[in-house]
A and B are shown apart, each in its own frame.
Chain A
Amino acid sequence: MLYSIYTTIMSRNEKIPVYNRIAQQRELLGMSRQQLAELVCVHYQTIGYLERGEYSPSLVLALKIAEVLGQDVQSLFSIKPFPKGK
């Protein structure tokens, strides 16, 4: 029970997962998690949680990540799964 409360809060809304392409974009730019974390002022583990979809970022963090990765927020985050290979 405790764990489900924890995951709900971590994902903000368990019923609507947020999909993202942070890992693909980061790797495309040859950036490590640590480097990205430093650029957006979060802990490196938070990037891991984000990439695995275990944590949904705030709007501010999403905008910061999009800016650092040179992408629009819509192309990085979505409430629908991204088509494979794109």
Chain B
Amino acid sequence: MSQKPEKKFYWSTGITRNEVVKSLNDTRHSALRSQSNRRWLVSLTAIALTVMAFTTYIPHTKVRSYLDILLMAIVLVAYFQLRKSVRNVADAPDELLDERQISVRNVGYLHAYRYLAAIGLLYFFFYYFLNETEFLKMTLGLESSSLIQVFFSYCMWGACLPSMVLAWLMPSENQN
């Protein structure tokens, strides 16, 4: 059997073999190993992603721009911390995980897919269906250019959800 190169990069999930192996074998103490801390991180990410999709309704352009940048930074940092908190299990390929980790990861993906579909429908309902009515169009004044933030928010939900589900579900590691 040929040995796989150590620096192999998995394009589909944006992770390297080294990162996964290192993270799975990491025995150092980390605040992210406790369930309550992970749940705080999940909640923060969810709030940031939700707010990001609705900043378009802030009337002051300057405030909106600063908030958008701040939210993007928060979401990106939270995304990498979430991955770390679940030892990259949510993004690791089968070959680097054992059967229990694979089943845990698959549970994460199953629920992430369902939540992503629900979030997609909510965004669609809010931004397309409701915005079509004259009353709301006047009230909300949505411009098509501001949909970029909504699109970015949705993409980040897609990237973060598998790790978010696992981070929420997995027990604290000091119980193991």
B168 touches A55 (CB 8 A): no
Which one of A15-23, A24-32, A37-45, A72-80 is at the interface?
A37-45
Q: Which residues of A contact B103 (CB under 8 A)?
A: 9-10
Taking residues whose C-beta sits less than 8 angstroms from the other chain, chain B's interface range is 10 to 19
- The answer to whether residues A58 and B99 also contact, given A2-B111, A2-B168, A5-B107 and a CB cut-off of 8 A, is yes
Q: Report yes or no: A61 in contact with B99, Cβ–Cβ below 8 A.
A: yes
Q: Is the CB of B169 within 8 A of A41?
A: no
| A49 neighbours in B (Cβ, 8 Å) | 100, 176
* Size of interface on A: residues with Cβ below 8 Å to B: 17
Q: Which of B98, B165, B169 contacts A46 (CB 8 A)?
A: B98
Query: In the complex the two chains form, is A43's CB within 8 Å of B176's CB?
Result: no
Q: Which of A2, A5, A42, A48 contacts B99 (CB 8 A)?
A: A42
Could you give, for residues 51-75 of chain A, a 1 whenever the CB lies within 8 Å of some chain B CB and a 0 otherwise?
A: 0000101100100000000000000
Contact residues of B with A, CB < 8 Å? Answer: 24, 97-101, 103-104, 106-107, 111, 165, 168-169, 173, 176
